[in-house]
Amino acid sequence: MPIVNRVGDFSGEIAAWRHDLHAHPELLYDVHRTAASVADKLKSFGCDEVVTGIGRTGVVGIVRGRDPGAKVIGLRADMDALPLEEETGLPYRSSVPGRMHACGHDGHTAMLLGAAKYLAETRNFVGTAVMIFQPAEEGGAGGLAMVKDGLMTRFGVEEVYGMHNYPGLAVGEFAIRPGAIMAAADQIVIALQGKGGHAARPHLAIDTVLVGAQIVNQLQSIVARNVDPLEAAVVSICMFQAGHTDNVIPQHATLRGTARSLSAEVRALLQKRVREVVEGTAALYGAKAEITYSTGYPVVVNHKRQTSLAAAVAEDIVGHDKVDTDVAPVMGAEDFAFMLQERPGAFIFVGNGDSAGLHHPAYDFNDEVIPIGTSYWVRLAETALRG
Ligand SMILES: [Zn+2]
Ligand SMILES: [Zn+2]
């Protein structure tokens, strides 16, 4: 069972919606135009209910099957763009300087709209499909905001499914795995205080550049020497700011970075060891370190039964050999994790082909994915809600 014919028929229309979203990127929770356009379309398709303002700017569209049934599943897309300057030169490129749909959320939103249109038209299922359009995936925890606003309980959602395009994976392929598929991402901010002074009299100063450099090095020993080598972890210090000139030892330094893991145990270990290593190293040199360790998105953990279902649906569409059911997890993060903490479900990757990477100024969602991803959504709903 390849692409759903009816979906193929209006894939051009879905692509046109995507191009419109692409030209009008919006950030985080400020997705007002996008959310309004999504809500208008859902209404025009004849969704039974369209609810706006969930988790600030989230939108939900509800389609009931030919027989109402008892089961309710949620299908989720994200709507927000990123703060970077687009360099694609496409006819539908961003019309807003410094903003760009560089993660393909325009494609995700358009495909889920396509699925809503098809499901409202055909209603070939028993139960209820809840189409979830969330704001603020890119660092704003919009998924959590929707959950806190009663997303699961208000609509009786029993299972949730998510999908993300994947550059480097061929168009017409899917990848998924049960268990952890994306990482927890926590933020590290270190404020160092030493003792400033003349560069020629270092013995009278406490050099925050030296202390910070030692901290950067020592932090790498956590992954190398504290984490079980069979577990995955990342500690990256990505910002180190200190000093203004060549003859002053700076009194202050600031370091920022990220800690990522694929299990709650490793996540807790990283937090504990980062604190110990930073404080211990600073103390060794007589400096003071203040650490702000903020927990971000949790691990995206796919549930077994729902992952098998998602994989089977993907195989129906693209063929058995085109679905990797044991893909290696990635250390990027996704706030769909919060929805999977509330309800069982599965997150799947759909191949975006040989495109520029996510968050790259030359990236573009591949329109060839539209019939594939949309077919996945509609078959998933029809399969999970077979009655
Ligand atoms: Zn992204
Ligand atoms: Zn994304």
- Tell me, in angstroms, the distance from the centre of ligand 2 to residue 64's CA: 28
pLDDT of residue 387: 74
| Nearest-ligand number for the alpha carbon of 106 | 2
- Inter-CA distances, 43 with 5, 120, 125, 185, 217, Å: 23, 10, 20, 37, 56
Residue owning tokens 């360099």: 87
Which residues have beta carbons under 5 A from ligand 2 (an ion)?
103
Amino acid letter for position 184: A
Which residues have beta carbons under 5 A from ligand 1 (an ion)?
103
pLDDT of residue 1: 55
- Write the DSSP symbol of residue 363: -
Please tell me the distance from the alpha carbon of residue 30 to that of residue 57, in angstroms, as a whole number.
7
| Nearest-ligand number for the alpha carbon of 352 | 2
CA angle 382, 39, 339 (to 5 degrees): 60
Torsion over CA of 345, 351, 357 and 361, rounded to 10 degrees? -100
Nearest Cα neighbor of 297 from 136, 93, 131 is: 136
Total count of residues recorded for the chain: 387
- Tell me, in angstroms, the distance from the centre of ligand 2 to residue 340's CA: 16
Nearest Cα neighbor of 61 from 80, 75, 82, 79 is: 75
Residue pLDDT, tens place only, 115-141: 999 999 999 999 999 999 999 999 999
Amino acid letter for position 264: A
Which residues does the annotation mark as catalytic? 80, 137
Nearest Cα neighbor of 120 from 110, 131, 111, 109 is: 131
| Nearest-ligand number for the alpha carbon of 162 | 2
- Tell me, in angstroms, the distance from the centre of ligand 1 to residue 146's CA: 18
- Tell me, in angstroms, the distance from the centre of ligand 1 to residue 38's CA: 20
- Tell me, in angstroms, the distance from the centre of ligand 2 to residue 334's CA: 7
Nearest Cα neighbor of 15 from 372, 378, 368, 377 is: 368
- Tell me, in angstroms, the distance from the centre of ligand 2 to residue 251's CA: 39
Secondary structure (DSSP) of 31-84: -HHHHHHHHHHHHHHT-SEEEEEETTTEEEEEEE-SEEEEEEEEEEEE--BBSS
Tokens matching residue 45: 């398709």
Residue pLDDT, tens place only, 295-344: 999 999 999 999 999 999 999 999 999 999 999 999 999 999 999 999 99
pTM to 2 decimal places: 0.95
| Nearest-ligand number for the alpha carbon of 165 | 2
Task: Name residues of the chain where pLDDT drops below 70.
Answer: 1
- Tell me, in angstroms, the distance from the centre of ligand 2 to residue 82's CA: 9
Give the contacts of 243 (CB within 8 A, at least 6 positions apart).
Answer: 209, 249, 250, 253
**Strand boundaries in the chain, DSSP class E:** 49-54, 58-64, 67-78, 126-134, 159-166, 174-175, 179-182, 184-193, 197-198, 233-242, 248-249, 252-261, 288-295, 300-302, 323-324, 345-351
